[in-house]
């Protein structure tokens, strides 16, 4: 009887739909592509062209900022279909990566300023096509993956992306080893374009789903304000807004800090940055089997506390209290990757849980636009701030308050605000933050880490 019941429960347990493995393969090759043109390699190339902190902020913020075009694009998803909509946008953006690969080779007839302007124009077009087409991704995955497995899917997807991103940074570090030349950046951008083309083959194999039938309405009749004011959704938007302000620019300006204040080479900085993706991969082992059980709210709370500690470490580094030893920088980078992956998974999972089926495309468009536009504006604002205070470095409380010390301290304050907003989120089945920490630190197999804690 017990055996029969077990077999019945196993048969009724939700499973991933056939063909979903193509989504993980797409994520892997997509990460091999976009991490070159949207992360540290592109920041380092722009820096080699003489980009200021403000320009670096614009580059970092361009991708999330252009997600605002999801608002008008959301009304066209039902007519075109999820897969066709995403594939079209991803195909266009791959073409712009191929064009970017030619920019470093134009040094014979374009000066640094013109090359930087051309690069910014191509990045704008790349991110515009990505911003429009990505509005169909979350509705597509939400309908494709069973509710009970969404946390597991997001954890696996994050692990795949972070592992591929780690490989990308190793390749980038090897390509830019020594004194980097323009042709090395050209090779790296060409690699990005090739991987983007491969990712398209897997994107086309992800199972499509029927778009839910909704009443016909013009884009002007969509009740955007009423949707944004839906109480559980409004609380999530406020928390995501604060999170995006705090997190926006952290990755960009830690790279700039290492380049300017430590004099590290591009290759060494990329090797250090790659460790963040190993931190992201570790989120799979930490949360894959407990995400759907404990919920998103405690994970977000724990991530905020972790970010406060990490940013205080960067404050001490920038303020000259502790030297920029490699071990310290590596530890901070690892936990940055882990905490970023946890927060991203938790935000997306909570949005999947509370967004109503009716108007799903538009709810997700609002969610993506609020989070991404803020992520786009934040690094620009942080960059302006860094440039504005770059001439000052007073000493106070034992710290040298240079422009990077100020940035890291203010980002930490923003994470403190985020923590209080996260505590107000609505998620009825979520465990408490205390219960999550107790399970991770005391009851789980990871408790062996406590053996390293010094005993008095």
Which pLDDT value is given to residue 448? Answer: 40
pLDDT along the chain (456 residues), means of 10: 46 74 93 87 87 81 80 81 89 93 90 92 91 84 83 83 88 81 91 94 89 54 70 86 88 82 77 83 67 75 91 89 85 90 83 74 79 82 84 75 89 93 77 56 49 42
φ and ψ at residue 327, rounded to 5 degrees: -65, -40
CA distances from 172 to 180, 212, 440 (A): 11, 42, 34
What pTM was estimated for this model as a whole? 0.72
Among 429, 74, 367, which Cα is nearest to 236's? 367
Q: Which residue is listed with tokens 């290759």?
A: 267
The domain spans of the chain are 21-210+223-444
User: Dihedral of CA 210/211/215/217: which sign?
Assistant: negative
CA distances from 259 to 24, 226, 270, 384 (A): 33, 46, 11, 18
Question: What is the CATH code for 21-210+223-444?
Answer: 1.20.1250.20
């Amino acid at each position: 009887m017990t055996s029969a019941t077990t077999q019945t429960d196993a048969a009724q347990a939700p499973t991933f739909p056939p063909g979903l493995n193509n989504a993980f393969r797409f994520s892997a090759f997509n990460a091999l592509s976009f991490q070159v043109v949207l992360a540290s390699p592109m920041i380092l190339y722009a820096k080699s062209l003489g980009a200021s902190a403000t320009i670096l902020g614009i580059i970092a913020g361009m991708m999330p900022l252009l997600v605002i075009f999801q608002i008008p694009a959301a009304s066209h998803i039902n007519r075109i279909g999820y897969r066709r909509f995403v594939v079209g946008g991803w195909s266009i953006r791959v073409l712009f990566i191929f064009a970017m690969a030619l920019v470093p080779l134009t040094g014979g007839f374009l000066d640094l300023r013109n090359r930087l302007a051309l690069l910014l124009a191509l990045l704008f077009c790349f991110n515009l096509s990505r911003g429009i087409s990505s509005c169909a991704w979350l509705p597509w995955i939400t309908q494709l993956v069973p509710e009970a497995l969404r946390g597991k899917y997001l954890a696996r997807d994050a692990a795949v992306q972070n592992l591929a991103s780690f490989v990308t940074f190793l390749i980038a570090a090897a390509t830019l080893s020594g004194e980097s030349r323009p042709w090395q950046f050209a090779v790296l951008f060409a690699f990005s374009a090739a991987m983007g083309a491969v990712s398209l083959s897997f994107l086309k194999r992800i199972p499509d789903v029927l778009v839910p039938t909704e009443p016909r309405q013009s884009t002007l009749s969509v009740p955007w304000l009423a949707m944004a004011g839906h109480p559980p959704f409004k609380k999530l938007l406020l928390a995501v807004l604060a999170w995006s302000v705090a997190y926006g620019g952290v990755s960009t300006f830690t790279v700039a800090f290492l380049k300017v204040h430590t004099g590290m080479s591009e290759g060494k900085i990329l090797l250090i940055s790659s460790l963040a993706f190993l931190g992201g991969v570790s989120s799979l082992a930490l949360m894959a089997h407990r995400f759907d059980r404990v919920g998103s709210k405690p994970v977000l709370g724990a991530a905020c506390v972790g970010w406060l500690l990490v940013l205080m470490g960067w404050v001490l580094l920038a303020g000259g209290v502790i030297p920029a030893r490699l071990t310290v920088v590596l530890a901070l980078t690892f936990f940055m990757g882990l905490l970023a992956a946890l927060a991203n998974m938790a935000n997306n999972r909570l949005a999947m849980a509370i967004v109503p089926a009716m108007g799903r495309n538009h709810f997700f468009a609002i969610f993506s636009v609020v989070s991404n536009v803020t992520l786009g504006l934040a690094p620009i604002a942080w960059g302006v701030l860094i440039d504005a205070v770059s001439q000052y470095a007073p000493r106070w409380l034992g710290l040298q308050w240079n422009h990077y010390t100020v940035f890291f301290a203010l980002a930490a304050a923003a994470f403190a605000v985020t923590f209080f907003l996260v505590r107000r989120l609505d998620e009825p089945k979520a465990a408490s933050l205390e219960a999550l920490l107790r399970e991770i630190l005391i009851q789980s197999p990871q408790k062996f880490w406590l053996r390293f804690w010094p005993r008095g």
